[in-house]
Structure 1
Amino acid sequence: MEKDMRFLCYPFMRESVSTVDFEIRTDSLTTRIGQAAALTKDVEVVHNDLMYLLPNAYHLNGSVRGKVAITEEKLNRLSEMYDYYVNEVEDQIAHFLLPQGTEAACVLHVCRSEAKKSVRALHKVSLEREVPDILFDYAHLLANVLFVMAVYVNKQNGVEEIPFISESYPTKKKK
């Protein structure tokens, strides 16, 4: 008898390999990027970049189990995004910042955190099987892009960033 697919949310759910955890984590990341895109329609450059990143987050998802769909071209475009946003907010990112501000910026900070969790899940996969370096590069860079996007959105909305000064770790003073 054929399994009724309404009772199966994800076909690999019962596998014990870390690939499943990575795929679930990047699915969450993709969902959050979609949420951020919905909240950034008033900041056109960010909205357009997020709409570009949306399918690429799913391409990252499938690149471990399936064909590697993250290309040098996609990595280079992501790198260009990073350079653009850093150029716009470099004064604000000289310090570690609290994840706060507009709703859109806060969701972008959640995206950044989800991207970092995806990097960690990808590391777990790499302990079980070979993972192409480009996937690590893309996932790390994606987290950093999402961070500077959050700061950019706050800047566009006149929201001041709040530096975080750790009481646990020494920080270097900028000269």
Structure 2
Amino acid sequence: MKIYTRTGDEGKTSVIGGRVNKDDVRVEAYGTIDELNSFVGQAASVLAREDKANWDDLLEHLTLIQHELFDCGSDLSYAIPDPAKMKVTHEMTQRLEDWIDLYEAQTPPITRFILPGGSEPAAILHVCRTVCRRAERRVVTLATEQPCPDEVRKYLNRLSDFFFTVARMANSRLQLLDVEYERGAHVFRRRS
């Protein structure tokens, strides 16, 4: 099989149900999810270079998330989403919430906005967070213009919270403090 097909040379690509411009809002949405998936792979590679035993739980979760990001892209690739064929479920979003609670319990209380970074693992997980937020914005735009499965948007919203939490957890496991935004007020209260 050849990797090149030449079918996109005129600036068009295929979605399930037709062909669209390569800069179509649908393609932008699932393309940004693909970009996010690449950063998740980079984050997993960075963590695997560290003391791997310290990151086994997170590495397992990141691998599952990479598969689920493919599911998100698949669901968005339908010009007309067919509910019977959608892969992203409420249960996947709920599982992210459970993981967020698990990892948040491993972080110190947060009271101010924090700067992305601290450690290399935290920095790349913050990159995942920001790219995830962009993917979510692209899906919101898509939903205002074309049919779009709601659960993908919900999943991405929760996933960005997951990345924020695990970035903080990474610093905590490495015994580093998050760097607080020094001109920010105390704005956060830990939920019980």
TM-score range, shorter chain: 0.7 to 0.9
- Matched residues in 2 for 1:133 and 1:165: separation? 37
CA contact (8 A) 2:115 2:178 kept: yes
Q: In structure 2, do the counterparts of structure 1 residues 154 and 173 end up closer, same or farther at CA, with 3 Å as the change threshold?
A: closer
1:130 aligns with 2:142: no
Q: How far 1:57 moved relative to its partner? A: 1.1
Gaps of 5+ in 1: none
Q: Aligned with 2:115: secondary structure?
A: coil
1:11-50 to 2 correspondences below 5 Å:
11-12=13-14, 14-41=21-48, 42=52, 43-50=55-62
- Matched residues in 2 for 1:55 and 1:173: separation? 32
- Matched residues in 1 for 2:154 and 2:74: separation? 16
Gaps of 5+ in 2: 15-19, 79-84
**Aligned-residue CA RMSD (Å):** 2.4
1:18-167 to 2 correspondences below 5 Å:
18-41=25-48, 42=52, 43-66=55-78, 67-91=85-109, 93-166=110-183
Q: How far 1:173 moved relative to its partner? A: 8.0
Overall identity of the aligned pairs, in %:
22
Task: Map Cα deviations across residues 22-68 of structure 1 (whole Å, 9 max, x no partner).
Answer: 11101100000011111113211111111111111111122122342
Q: In structure 2, do the counterparts of structure 1 residues 116 and 166 end up closer, same or farther at CA, with 3 Å as the change threshold?
A: farther
Q: In structure 2, do the counterparts of structure 1 residues 140 and 90 end up closer, same or farther at CA, with 3 Å as the change threshold?
A: farther
Q: In structure 2, do the counterparts of structure 1 residues 40 and 6 end up closer, same or farther at CA, with 3 Å as the change threshold?
A: farther
CA contact (8 A) 2:36 2:132 kept: yes
Q: Aligned with 1:11: secondary structure?
A: strand
Letter in 2 for 1:72: H
Q: Aligned with 1:89: secondary structure?
A: coil
Letter in 2 for 1:65: S
Q: Structure 1 stretch 157-166 or stretch 103-112: which is displaced more?
A: 157-166
Q: How far 1:129 moved relative to its partner? A: 1.6
